[in-house]
Chain A
Amino acid sequence: MTKKVFGKPKCLKENVFHYCAGCGHSIVHRLVAEVIDELDIRGITIGVPPAGCAVLAYNYFDIDMIEAQHGRGPAMATGIKRTLPDRVVFSYQGDGDLAAIGIAESFHAANRGENITVIFINNAVYGMTGGQMAPTTLLGQRTTTSPSGRDAVKEGYPIRISEILSSLPGTTFIERCTVNSPPNIIKAKKAIKKAFQYQIDGLGFSMIEVLSPCPTNWKMTPIAACKWIDEVMSKEFPLGIIKDIKSSDKGGKSHVG
């Protein structure tokens, strides 16, 4: 007798991911889909994909979705959630989307304590447009627009978005994860599930930052990219729970949306 121990999440479509080999997006898509299945919220979930590599997320998720313009995901998610407060609404954003062009929308949605979840993919480059410098690009990191390495004097410093948003009283749960190894993938899924649960419980803004490999634009093999996250990237962006209002009294009051 055979027993099925592993399968495709129900809320992922049959389509094959277009993402590059070794890219973190497909793993995170899968994790979000597994969480939606496990929480049994497929029918009440609305996703907001960004401009960027994940713009085609609606080809993969078998849930209702609406594309946002670059950086505007949290504003659009706000409009949806306030109109349909009993739905589960998440935006899915990259580092350029969230930390550069859409930082105002993200910051203020967090500050209003909008009861939404943000999946924040940090791969330290603009992936879709070919590897330009992002707000999260590390000092010294070479990109197509910082060819001799990011220089703090000219280009400023990598922004730690999770730490910044965690200082806002409207945020409830923020964790930085990565998907570069099986144990880290399991941790990331747990974090995503918790973030969705906080939303379902009406606690307020939750965000999961995922350090995500981009071998194509980092010009590395997938294995080297995973190693680079451990050895370099996570030194700048430390992994772990950054804010959890349930386990800390420093987090300020929760906001019920």
Chain B
Amino acid sequence: MQGNKVIGEAAIRTGCRFYAGYPITPQNELPEYMAESMCQVKGGVFIQSESEIAAIHMVAGASAAGARAMTSSSSPGISLKQEGISSMAACELPGVIVNMMRGGPGLGNISPAQGDYFQATRGGGHGDYRTIVLAPASGQELADLTMDAFDLADEYRMPVMILADGMMGQMMEPVVFKEPKPRQYRERYVLKGAGAGKSRFIRGLILDPRAMEEHNWKLARKYEVIAQKETRHEAFNTEDAQLIVTAYGTAARIAKGAIKRLHDAGLKVGLFRPITLWPFPSRELQEISERTDNFLVFELSTGQMIEDVHLALCGRGYVNFYGRPGGVVPTPVELAHVIARQYSKKDRHHE
């Protein structure tokens, strides 16, 4: 099944009943899948919105009204959605946003790239907030993480982003859809008319600075809990590795291929793959740095996640970088050469 469609199917299976989006390559198969699927499920709503901005605010409205809601786009479109993402974070509205990144900045191109890491992991829009960012690296993970994204969004009442690229969106892989968990979302968060009871309102505007400060700290405490509890990563061949490649998503897949080749040639190289980009699995990387002090960060950008690697390592170890921005995707063989060079440099260093 194609990656973009996997996300759509996983979303429907986990109870997503509202999708709004605007066409942009390389994620068009996802809205197209939703257009077909939403009319086949009870209460399903699909809207092709007039803009990315409208789409995210429709999602916010649907979310406030109790629907599991999703929108998707690619880099330039995600920039437009940031107003709504910030607002959803402020108003504590759950929702899932898919970003199938492309080469940028500006309109850029439609090739796989990872230049939106900063935007995704630092909040993205204005104000003091974070979004959980999940980075799938296979068709199976697209399915699993999409389902998890909805659960996390509900649990913490916040927008959750799935960050991938055109490679993930376009590739075909077999997937098994897991059994979705029953939705745990309190009725009292849903705005559906006051009935005979007290009326409620949802707002992000808090004019009193003290109340605003209190609200910001409340959000910050929530983010702290998430940072403690929700980090995810994959460690591959890290036990006796002399060099750890750190990469996520498509880049991690290429890295794994390269590492397997190098393993056959006797080089002890491991992969540390963050699955949550925010919260970044810092502690887990620190633990690995107690065994290995040679790191190579590989990104399809000019270097963004490397800042989180530096923050996690606190100055320990040797951190080098290999980046291919703009939609250039190196083969595992090319990357294996880069890794091998770094590997032997480290050997010389020890001599």
Contact = CB atoms under 8 A, between A and B. Distances in A.
Interface stretch (A60-68, A139-147, A230-238): A60-68
B58 interface: yes
Interface stretch (A70-78, A153-161, A165-173): A70-78
A87 B194 CA distance: 11
B61 A66 contact: yes
Contact of A80 (B51, B64, B203): B64
B183 interface: no
B89 to A, nearest CB: 12
A45 interface: yes
Contacts of A46: 65, 191-193
Given A68-B57, A69-B57, A76-B57, A82 B47 contact: yes
A152 to B, nearest CB: 28
Nearest to B46: A82
Nearest to A44: B193
A1 B273 CA distance: 81
Contact of B203 (A44, A67, A78): A67
Which has the most chain A C-beta neighbours within 10 Å: B55, B63, B192?
A: B192
Contact of A64 (B20, B58, B59, B200): B200
A77 B204 CA distance: 17
Contacts of B202: 65-67
A108 interface: yes
Interface residues of A, number: 38
B91 interface: yes
B201 A64 contact: yes
A130 interface: no
A43 B65 contact: no
Interface in A18-51: 42-46, 48, 51
Nearest to B20: A79
B91 A82 contact: no
Interface residues of B, number: 40
A245 interface: no
A100 interface: no
A64 B194 contact: yes
Contact of A72 (B45, B54, B65, B191): B54
Contacts of B67: 79, 83
Contacts of A48: 61
Contact of A61 (B45, B193, B199): B199
A76 to B, nearest CB: 4
Contact of A104 (B18, B51, B58, B66): B51
Interface of B: 17-18, 20, 45, 47, 49-51, 53-55, 57-67, 69, 83-84, 87, 91, 191-196, 199-205
Given A61-B199, A80-B191, A108-B50, 17 more contacts: A43-B194, A46-B65, A62-B199, A63-B194, A64-B194, A65-B199, A66-B64, A66-B191, A72-B84, A76-B61, A79-B18, A79-B57, A80-B61, A87-B192, A104-B50, A104-B51, A107-B50
Interface of A: 11, 42-46, 48, 51, 55-56, 58, 61-69, 72, 75-84, 87-88, 104-105, 107-108, 112
